[in-house]
Structure 1
Amino acid sequence: MVEFKCPGHNQDHIPEEVLREAGITFPKAYTDKNNIVALARVLKKYQDDVFAKVPFCVTVEAEAFGAYIKMGDAMHRPRPNGHRFSSIEELSGIQAPDISKGRIGEVLDAVGILAESGEKVILNIVGPFTIIYALINHTIFYRGLRKDPAQIKEIMAVIEKSVIQYGIEGVKRGASIISFEDAVGVPDVIGPTIYRDFSGPSNLRIINGIKEVGGRFLIHLCGRTSAALENTDMVHSYAIDTGKASTYGQALAGLLDELTEPIVVGHRCIAWGPMKMDQPCIWGIELIQK
């Protein structure tokens, strides 16, 4: 049994000195590529990290699907603000968004700007359950899971395709790491049956779909996501020696230099980049083909 305790980092507050140096305003810090780039660069420097990370919240994909998002400020990151859909029938009409437009397009543009300037970039993406929770009340969604699971799978297929497209486009724009999480889609939140039948297989399809683009990049799974997959026998982990790397971010950067094709890693938090490593290894994640 793999155990992972989420560190629960407070990612809401942006320090005042970061704001002054970045020279950003709100809500442009979340909606405009140039402000996103400025904030990412200064946060990287402030945190003494190896990577510049974008975006700064988990609502970008849901917003692209039509979710109502309160954009936030320096104290509070963007977050859902009510639900766009009130029934499964309404939700079933969703279409894959144009990821070149809106805030999701601005984030991708920011990835390109950062990468072209020489930054190592992490694009944070989320999975279907996290997106769906921002679109419809979870009670209505679970009712739909019981009454018409085939319809739910059709809805999830649309979302999965979009998430894969987003991740692939991030790689094409120069992201070194695609950081993937679906924190509300793990067994201790949705239960083992729904996880086994819906969330877990969905995560695997997304991971495989992004890997297919090829190239030298990592897919970094949230520790809760990777632990859930391994504990349900959907993946297994293996240790990758990190040599003399001091911090987790340095270890990831060193691994990237050695890659010839994309691999998946997990069992740690992407926010641990600046932290000293307690074990000299990265946990590789291999998908079990059934």
Structure 2
Amino acid sequence: MSMKQDVLDVLSGKTVEKTPVLSATTCGIVDTMDYAKTNYPDAHKDSNEMARLGSALHDLTGLECVRVPFCLTVEAEAMGCEIDFGNNDKSAGVASTPYRSSEDITVPDDIAELGRIPTVLKALQLLKDEYPEVPVIAGAVGPFTLAGHLIGVENILRKILTDYLDVEATIDIAIEVLEQYLTAINEVNPDIICFADPNSSPELLSPFDYKFISKPALQEISEVVKPKSILHICGRTKPIIPDMLESGFDGISIEEKCPMDEAQAIKREMNSNVAIVGNISTSKTLFYSPIEDVKKECTEALQAGTDILAPSCGIAMRSPTKNIQAMVDARNEFYE
């Protein structure tokens, strides 16, 4: 069975012989840039360079996916936000936004033609054509995170207490933007869309607010998605695991701050078929730990029942390729 089919089966709630190993969150690290003949910010802006970098870890280590883009700013840029594209030591981010409230925002009806969205769509098509047996993952952001990009993260968190109606209206705008973007992604038909929703982390948004603000918006956009889907939320997500499992996605991706065995226990209690993806530390283990420590943590995650072995969050840009290779090797050795 192909690695693509294994991943799709896991995300369909089926059992496979060998746990897949991939990166749902990002695949663009500096250590592979010579191989990919690119760097940042160029890989954010050119579809060919984006595709080469997004496939480099698969080529070099056997990681079971190819993935683009490498930031959480594509949708915000299309809506007129100013982007700091960073460099090989700094991730791209939203530098500023022209909006302070939902009343300031008008959604264009041609989102798929704006900013770097055409670049991402072309890169996805290049990857689909070149890697027909490898899972192709498209990245997108969650609606609450996009809403924060549009009117400011601190601003939207404050408005939960002071202007809840504007929060709801801004999230509705974010949903409208994402529906257009997702419709365009659906036409390219990658195997998976992974939604990063860091602003929905319990460290920013209370579990109560996740349940009643973020979760309904996620459920709404999940209905637009045609490929398989994964929801990634950073931080200590254990309090929201039940709601994440009910947010409408085929998989959820968690950090090491949420123990895998505890997440799996919640999944069993709920009789859920949603795959749990993760959760090898990106801030420590994959970033700078020795290979033996990488393999140890991977083995522990596999023993704890991870459905897909993966980094816990976006791989730090200066992480060594050898540690990603160690993750793949650890999975292979686990089944020997």
Q: Is TM-score (shorter-chain normalized) higher than 0.5?
A: yes
Of residues 107-116 and 132-141 in structure 1, the stretch that sits farther from structure 2 once superposed is 132-141
Of residues 88-97 and 106-115 in structure 1, the stretch that sits farther from structure 2 once superposed is 88-97
Aligned equivalents of 2:28, 2:68: Cα separation in 1: 14
Cα offsets for 1:110-164 (capped at 9, x unmatched): 1011102224311111112222333333333234334443333222122113223
Alpha carbons of structure 1 residues 219 and 228: separation in structure 2 relative to 1, 3 Å: farther
The reply to whether residue 42 of structure 1 matches residue 61 of structure 2 is no
1:190 aligns to what SS in structure 2?
A: coil
1:178 aligns to what SS in structure 2?
A: strand
Alignment match, 1:179? 194
Of residues 93-102 and 109-118 in structure 1, the stretch that sits farther from structure 2 once superposed is 93-102
Alignment match, 1:63? 77
Aligned equivalents of 2:80, 2:61: Cα separation in 1: 33
Alpha carbons of structure 1 residues 173 and 43: separation in structure 2 relative to 1, 3 Å: same
Alignment match, 2:178? 163
2:224 aligns to what SS in structure 1?
A: helix
**Cα distance, 1:232 vs. partner?**
4.1
Aligned equivalents of 1:171, 1:228: Cα separation in 2: 32
Matched to 1:266, the amino acid is: I
Aligned equivalents of 2:194, 2:26: Cα separation in 1: 18
1:141 aligns to what SS in structure 2?
A: helix
Give structure 1 stretches of 5+ with no counterpart: 1-6, 241-262, 284-290
The reply to whether residue 110 of structure 1 matches residue 123 of structure 2 is yes
Cα offsets for 1:205-246 (capped at 9, x unmatched): 111221xx4xxx421222659856543487299x99xxxxxx
Contact 1:219 1:264 in 2 (8 A): no
Aligned equivalents of 2:244, 2:136: Cα separation in 1: 31
Give structure 2 stretches of 5+ with no counterpart: 1-22, 252-272, 287-294, 309-336
Aligned equivalents of 1:180, 1:236: Cα separation in 2: 12
Alignment match, 1:19? 33
**Cα distance, 1:199 vs. partner?**
1.0
Alpha carbons of structure 1 residues 92 and 198: separation in structure 2 relative to 1, 3 Å: farther
Alignment match, 2:166? 151
Partner residue of 2:149 out of 101, 121, 134: 134
**Cα distance, 1:89 vs. partner?**
5.1
Contact 2:102 2:170 in 1 (8 A): no
The reply to whether residue 80 of structure 1 matches residue 94 of structure 2 is yes
Contact 1:220 1:264 in 2 (8 A): no
Partner residue of 2:246 out of 235, 238, 242: 235
Matched to 1:150, the amino acid is: L
Alignment match, 1:282? 307
Alignment match, 1:204? 219
**Cα distance, 1:278 vs. partner?**
3.1
2:229 aligns to what SS in structure 1?
A: strand
Aligned-residue RMSD, C-alpha: 3.6
Aligned equivalents of 2:247, 2:220: Cα separation in 1: 16
Alpha carbons of structure 1 residues 161 and 82: separation in structure 2 relative to 1, 3 Å: closer
Partner residue of 2:111 out of 98, 115, 139: 98
2:81 aligns to what SS in structure 1?
A: coil
Percent identity over the alignment?
22
Contact 1:218 1:265 in 2 (8 A): no
Alignment match, 1:219? 229
Aligned equivalents of 2:278, 2:121: Cα separation in 1: 25
Alpha carbons of structure 1 residues 233 and 167: separation in structure 2 relative to 1, 3 Å: closer
**Cα distance, 1:178 vs. partner?**
0.9
**Cα distance, 1:267 vs. partner?**
4.8
2:88 aligns to what SS in structure 1?
A: coil
Contact 2:144 2:197 in 1 (8 A): yes
